[in-house]
Structure 1
Amino acid sequence: MAIPVSTAAAGSTPDTAGKKSAAPVGGAAAISATRFATLMRPMLEKTTPLFALLSQTIATIEPYVIALVAYFNHLATILKPYHPEEFLPAMCGFVLVFFGGNFFTLCAAVEAYRLIGFDDTKIALKKLKHSYDVAMAASKKDDEVDADGDGVADVKQIDARALAVRKAAVVAKAVDPDLVTDALVAINGGLMAVVATLRVRFAACVTIGSTVGEMAHNAVQTHAEPALLELTPSEYKKWVPCGLRYGCQLCGFVIAWFLQMSISAFHSATRGAQMFARGSLTYATRRGYLNPTAIDEKGRVFNACVFALAFVGFWSQFWSGYSLPFPLNILLLPVTFAEYAMRFVVFMLG
């Protein structure tokens, strides 16, 4: 009869033996982690100057950003008695009512971001700003010491690069990474909504343009192509069918783009009329010119103003061919650049 022989050490229980046999697994994981750290250390050492340069750049730009924010805060303080929260949306709404069709790509992007990611981004950025202020306070406190023992804090005399690196280290320790993640997720969600909206609109224009171009090419091929072939020299006749086909598709795309501008102009006129009516009626009510019930967005006065203004603005845009008059085409030049940049992004995404 065979006697079973235990492989466990003498004096050890089965559980203890199992634990001892599992120990090499942890040791292998630790060895793998050590090897990975050894491989990554040279790469991190090479990227250290890059992070130092980035920190120094941020430290250089930071005073200008702070000064710009302080200037806007000062401007907001000056305009506060005039209630900018009322007249600024009203002015933007007026521009949208009469000229929103010129910026339909930008309006679509802003509207998509407002619906999807604006609220989450605003909340996340507020929390992140609070965390950043705490980090800056900690960095400022760390930079001040009482060197001469007179009870007065003296700024440490260190070079700008070392100071930038130290500030970056303090910020990295003080800022909550979860807040950074929330902000990035909110911004990314809003940007994805913008990209999806623009791609859908571009795809609709391409589809409608191709369909219209195909129908136009059928008619042109039957009636105009024979005459063009007769008038064209023999060495260039081969380009006539191709040129007609792509010319018809281009015309169809232009027609589809104009239709999309008309739809967007109607949307911007409606949205702008709502903003203008809300701001102007609130101002008039606060001044005592109107009854407080006039700003009720479900009331007859408010809706009548919105629809009347939206109709006038849309008809004005359509009649003028979606063009900007002389003073506004200069004042709104930055917005025009942003619109064309957004259109370029749409074409690249398409």
Structure 2
Amino acid sequence: MAGVVATLKLQFAKTMSLAVSISDNIRKPAVSILAPFLIYSLPPEHHPWINPILDLTCKFLAMSLAWYLSRIISAVHSAIIGGLAASRACIQLLNDRKLITLDIDKLRILATFADVITKSMIDEYSGWTLAAMGILFQLGQGMQLSFPLNILLLPLSFVEVSLQWAVTFMK
């Protein structure tokens, strides 16, 4: 648990650093666009609140964007690792059942360049194809679980939220 929290704290720090950078960069355009509108639309007694409102709005938007980008990066990384692992496992399974005869490790070491491209890259091509399909599926789902899985994996969702709270507020 301590190792998981430590790893997540590092990821949290990276995400917060990105959020601060995004916030700092969108603040000036936001002030130039929104401040005149707020000055015109708010009564004069609320004008001292314009700066904090714009500041918090920029920080909120930047943090939301940073967390979303962090989720996308994690999904891409997981898809690549999972796609390659699944394709290599399928090739091994087909080899074990004698449906194909392809020893990827030996081909990579012993084969000529043309053979390596045509035979041993099968796991790479299929793995990257699976990764691309997984990434597109995740993005199509909005990075959320679909109906039957969201109910089935509800306890794990609670664990995820608990880890997020632990990373955010643990000192």
> Which band: TM-score by shorter chain?
0.7 to 0.9
Q: How does 1:82-231 map to 2 (within 5 A)?
A: 191-192=2-3, 194-231=4-41
Structure 1 residue 285, shift from structure 2 partner: 2.6
Matched residue type, 2:36 = P
TM-score with structure 1 setting the length:
0.42
Checking the alignment, whether the CA contact within 8 Å between 1:208 and 1:256 is kept in structure 2 is yes
What are the Cα deviations for residues 222-271 of structure 1, in whole angstroms up to 9, with x where unaligned? 22112112211233332221011011011111111111111111111012
Matched residue type, 2:146 = P
Matched residue type, 2:6 = A
Matched residue type, 2:2 = L
Q: For the residues of structure 2 that align with 1:321 and 1:330, how far apart are their CA atoms?
A: 17
Q: For the residues of structure 2 that align with 1:296 and 1:267, how far apart are their CA atoms?
A: 27
- Identical aligned pairs, as a percentage? 28
Matched residue type, 2:64 = V
TM-score with structure 2 setting the length:
0.81
What are the Cα deviations for residues 308-347 of structure 1, in whole angstroms up to 9, with x where unaligned? 1111211222233212211221222222222222111121
Give structure 1 stretches of 5+ with no counterpart: 1-189
What are the Cα deviations for residues 13-42 of structure 1, in whole angstroms up to 9, with x where unaligned? xxxxxxxxxxxxxxxxxxxxxxxxxxxxxx
Checking the alignment, whether the CA contact within 8 Å between 1:285 and 1:294 is kept in structure 2 is no
Matched residue type, 1:224 = L
Q: Is residue 320 of structure 1 aligned with residue 141 of structure 2?
A: yes
Matched residue type, 1:334 = P
Q: 2:65 aligns with which of 233, 239, 255?
A: 255
Q: For the residues of structure 2 that align with 1:266 and 1:236, how far apart are their CA atoms?
A: 45
- Aligned with 1:307: secondary structure? helix
Structure 1 residue 296, shift from structure 2 partner: 7.1
Checking the alignment, whether the CA contact within 8 Å between 2:87 and 2:127 is kept in structure 1 is yes
Give structure 2 stretches of 5+ with no counterpart: 109-119
Checking the alignment, whether the CA contact within 8 Å between 1:282 and 1:295 is kept in structure 2 is no
Matched residue type, 1:318 = L
In terms of Rg, which structure is larger? 1
What are the Cα deviations for residues 158-195 of structure 1, in whole angstroms up to 9, with x where unaligned? xxxxxxxxxxxxxxxxxxxxxxxxxxxxxxxx834x33
